[in-house]
Amino acid sequence: MTASEIVSYEPATGKELWRGKVGDVDAAVDRARRAWPAWAAQPLATRIELCRRFANEVRKDFDKLAEMIARETGKPLWEARTEVESVIAKVDISVTAYAERTGQKKLDSALQGTAAVRHKPHGVMLVLGPYNFPAHLANGHIIPALIAGNVVIFKPSEKTPATGELLMQCFNRAGISAAVAQFFVGGPEEGKALVAHRGVDGVLFTGSVQVGIAINRKLASNPGKIVALEMGGNNPIVVIDTPKVTDAATLIVQSAFMTAGQRCTAARRLIVKDSMYAPIVDEVKSLVSRLIVDEPFADPAPFMGPVIDNAAADQLVESFLYFLSNGGKAIRHMTRPNDDLPFLTPGIVDTTDMTDRPDVELFGPLLQVIRVKDFDQAIAEANRTRFGLSASLIGGSPQDYNRFWANIRAGIVNWNRPTSGASSKAPFGGLGLSGNHRPAAYYAADYCAYPVASTEMDQPRATIGVGLSNG
Q: How far apart are CA 218 and CA 202, in angstroms?
A: 13
Tell me what the mean pLDDT of segment 8-34 comes to: 98
The predicted structure's pLDDT at residue 2: 44
User: By the 8 A CB rule, do 276 and 284 touch?
Assistant: no
Q: For residue 462, what pLDDT band results from cuts at 50, 70 and 90? A: confident
Q: For residue 267, what pLDDT band results from cuts at 50, 70 and 90? A: very high
Higher pLDDT residue, 435 or 108?
435
Q: How far apart are CA 161 and CA 155, in angstroms?
A: 8
Active-site pick, 79, 158, 230, 381: 230
Q: For residue 110, what pLDDT band results from cuts at 50, 70 and 90? A: low
pLDDT digit string, tens, across residues 162-176: 999 999 999 999 999
Residues near 86 by Cβ (< 8 Å), separated by ≥ 6?
136, 139, 424
The residues pairing with 206 across neighbouring beta strands, listed in sequence order, are 230
The predicted structure's pLDDT at residue 457: 87
The predicted structure's pLDDT at residue 346: 98
Q: For residue 105, what pLDDT band results from cuts at 50, 70 and 90? A: confident
Tell me what the mean pLDDT of segment 254-263 comes to: 98
Distances (CA, A) of 232 to 122, 130, 213, 281, 284: 26, 11, 12, 25, 24
Whose CA is closest to 142, among 159, 177, 166, 167? 167
Tell me what the mean pLDDT of segment 293-314 comes to: 98
Tell me what the mean pLDDT of segment 137-163 comes to: 98
The predicted structure's pLDDT at residue 467: 94
Q: For residue 106, what pLDDT band results from cuts at 50, 70 and 90? A: confident
The predicted structure's pLDDT at residue 80: 98
Higher pLDDT residue, 463 or 204?
204
The helices-and-strands tally (H runs, E runs) of the chain is 14, 19
CB atoms within 10 A of CB 286: 11
Q: Where in the chain is the domain with CATH 3.40.309.10?
A: 235-415
In terms of DSSP H, where are the helices of 149-294? 161-173, 188-196, 209-218, 245-257, 274-288
Instruction: Tell whether omega for the bond before 134 is within 30 degrees of 0, i.e. cis.
Output: no
The predicted structure's pLDDT at residue 3: 66
Q: How far apart are CA 195 and CA 54, in angstroms?
A: 27
Q: For residue 107, what pLDDT band results from cuts at 50, 70 and 90? A: confident
The residues pairing with 105 across neighbouring beta strands, listed in sequence order, are 117
Q: Where in the chain is the domain with CATH 3.40.605.10?
A: 5-231+435-456
pLDDT greater than 50 at residue 89: yes
The predicted structure's pLDDT at residue 463: 87
User: Mean pLDDT of all residues in the chain?
Assistant: 96
The predicted structure's pLDDT at residue 243: 97
Tell me what the mean pLDDT of segment 252-280 comes to: 98
Active-site pick, 10, 51, 79, 264: 264
Q: For residue 344, what pLDDT band results from cuts at 50, 70 and 90? A: very high
Q: Which CATH architecture has domain 5-231+435-456?
A: 3-Layer(aba) Sandwich (3.40)
Distances (CA, A) of 279 to 115, 133, 251, 299, 394: 62, 34, 14, 32, 14
Measured between its terminal Cα atoms, the distance across the chain in Å is 81
pLDDT digit string, tens, across residues 363-385: 999 999 999 999 999 999 999 99
Q: Could you give the 3-state DSSP secondary structure of residue 128?
A: strand
Higher pLDDT residue, 356 or 201?
201
pLDDT greater than 60 at residue 284: yes
The predicted structure's pLDDT at residue 1: 41
The predicted structure's pLDDT at residue 114: 86
In terms of DSSP H, where are the helices of 42-76? 44-60, 62-73
Q: How far apart are CA 315 and CA 366, in angstroms?
A: 11
The pTM score is 0.96
pLDDT greater than 50 at residue 82: yes
CB atoms within 10 A of CB 398: 8
Q: Per CATH, which fold does 235-415 belong to?
A: Aldehyde Dehydrogenase; Chain A, domain 2 (3.40.309)
Active site residue 264: yes
Q: Strands 267-273 and 366-372: what pairing?
A: parallel
E strand or H helix that includes residue 34 = helix 25-41
The predicted structure's pLDDT at residue 191: 97
Q: Strands 16-21 and 5-9: what pairing?
A: antiparallel
User: By the 8 A CB rule, do 307 and 344 touch?
Assistant: yes
Tell me what the mean pLDDT of segment 119-134 comes to: 98
- Answer positive or negative: Cα dihedral of 127, 130, 134, 135: negative
Q: How far apart are CA 149 and CA 44, in angstroms?
A: 8
Q: How far apart are CA 427 and CA 414, in angstroms?
A: 14
Q: Burial of 471 by CB count in 10 Å (0-12 exposed, 13-18 middle, 19+ buried)?
A: exposed
User: By the 8 A CB rule, do 292 and 299 touch?
Assistant: no
